[in-house]
């Protein structure tokens, strides 16, 4: 990067900055904004320098989210509960939270949002099926339901207010795939960052849904309806195949071997013992 390089955005908001992916994106998104505003309800590392702003926020607090969004040019929304939990724990951060993000964007004139959706929006499809972004959604969990709701929120705010969104149906973004299912769903950190960059700066995205997977050998998702983003994944799970396949083979009826959403399809219910 030359010394004359000027980041394209003045201020970029990253929610969920204390999470596993948030900590990664805190570093990889720096080239795209003069100031990266970082937010989470959990503790975050202090601002490294004047290129960072650390602003804790509870996504369930509408006023706090409104203040959080003030003065930003775009939002990368990774905040919220990221695993399956009782619905009551999902409502505040994931359901109210996504509404508060879009309402604040409307009020403050923010026109581009990258939404961390999930493969759990379509988790009840079988691993033998190949699907695209126009397939019927089949959420596999309360978490998946919240992400499906977030995609509807993105469509509504584009149709009504012209706020553009790229919803990333993230597969499994970890340093390396952890099981056989993730050989298909794995998304490297570099490919995730590429998707966010394309989502931020590709013109005229409307509401685009893109599946977040690297160039894995066996992929269940067809990104034809996100071709305008120009996503070209650089990494592949193949380099980890021997290591993963050395693990004991799960039973054929294990959800992780049957459904695209894996174990999420069988999590809960949570209150049967009450």
Query: What tokens were used for 22?
Result: 């948030």
HEC letters along the chain: CCCCCCCCEEEEEEECCCCHHHHHHHHHCHHHEEEEEEECCCCCCCCCCCCEEECCCCCCCHHHHHHHHCCCCEEEECCCCCCCCCHHHHHHHHHHHHHHHHHHHHHHCCCEEEEEEEHHHHCCCECCCCEECCCCCCCCCHHHHHHHHHHHHHHHHHHHHCCEEEEEEECECCCCCCCCCHHHHECCHHHHHHHHHHHHHCCCCCEEEEEECCCCCCCCEECHHHHHHCCCCCCCHHHHHHHHHCCCCCCCCCHHHHECCHHHHHCCCCCCCC
Beta-strand relationship, 131-132 and 221-222: parallel
Q: Which residue in the list 102, 143, 157, 158 is annotated as catalytic?
A: 143
Do the Cβ atoms of 52 and 28 come closer than 8 Å?
A: no
Is 211 noted as a catalytic residue in this protein?
A: no
Angle, CA of 77, 79 and 81, to the nearest 5°: 140
Residues taking part in catalysis: 143
């Amino acid at each position: 990067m030359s010394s004359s390089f000027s980041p394209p955005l003045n201020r970029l908001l990253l929610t969920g900055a204390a999470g596993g992916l948030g900590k990664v994106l805190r570093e990889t998104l720096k080239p795209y904004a003069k100031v990266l505003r970082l937010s989470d309800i959990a503790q975050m590392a202090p601002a490294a320098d004047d290129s960072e702003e650390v602003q804790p926020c509870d996504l369930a607090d509408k006023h706090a989210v409104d203040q959080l969004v003030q003065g930003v040019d775009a939002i990368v929304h990774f905040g919220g509960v990221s695993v399956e939990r009782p619905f009551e724990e999902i409502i505040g951060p994931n359901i109210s939270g996504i509404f508060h993000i879009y309402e604040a964007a409307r009020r403050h004139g923010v026109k581009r949002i990258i939404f961390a959706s999930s493969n759990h929006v379509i988790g009840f499809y079988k691993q033998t099926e190949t699907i695209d972004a126009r397939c019927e959604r089949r959420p596999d969990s309360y978490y998946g339901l919240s992400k499906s709701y977030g995609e509807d929120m993105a469509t509504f705010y584009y149709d009504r207010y012209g706020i553009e969104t790229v919803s990333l149906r993230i597969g499994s973004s970890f340093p390396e795939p952890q099981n056989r299912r993730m050989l298909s769903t794995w998304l490297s950190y570099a490919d995730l960052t590429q998707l966010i960059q394309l989502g931020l700066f590709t013109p005229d995205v409307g509401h685009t849904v893109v599946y977040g997977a690297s160039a894995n050998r066996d992929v269940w998702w067809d990104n034809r309806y996100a071709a305008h983003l120009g996503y070209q994944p650089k990494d592949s799970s193949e380099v980890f195949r021997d290591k993963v396949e050395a693990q004991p083979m799960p039973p054929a009826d294990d959800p992780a071997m049957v459904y695209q959403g894996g174990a999420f399809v069988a999590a809960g219910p949570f209150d049967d013992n009450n």
